[in-house]
Amino acid sequence: MAKLGARNSVVLAKVAIDLEFTVEQDSSIEWSRTTYALRSDGKILVKRDVRFRATGDGKSKLDQAYFHTWGWKLTSPLRTLKAGATAESWAEKYVAGGYTRVAL
């Protein structure tokens, strides 16, 4: 698992997208958030949070809805901030794709 503040780096920008899932989509997930963070060393990290749907059958230990996070992971080593690009331009590309900025 990666750390946002590893090797004295700081987070320059964060973007996230929230998705809602309906019962008709036949998904065990109700809600999902994917967050990307750009560190000062140029590395990009990703975190996924979900809320699993309650089964409601009374037979499973998953009878109640619950949250889960997979923690911060380093994206592909090839996926870093390109030379000459800024944190602002990196975040704007994601915002154009439907993501929202997250306060630091």
Q: Where are the domains of the chain?
A: 6-101
Q: How far, CA to CA in Å, does 71 sit from each of 1, 30, 62, 97?
A: 7, 19, 21, 23
Digit-coded pLDDT (tens) for 3-55:
777 777 899 999 999 998 877 766 788 899 999 999 988 889 999 999 988 77
User: What letter does residue 97 receive in the DSSP assignment?
Assistant: T
Please give the pLDDT value at position 72: 93
pLDDT band at 61 (very low <50, low <70, confident <90, very high): low
Q: What is the pLDDT of residue 54?
A: 79
Judged by average pLDDT, the poorest of 39-48, 73-82, 83-92 is 73-82
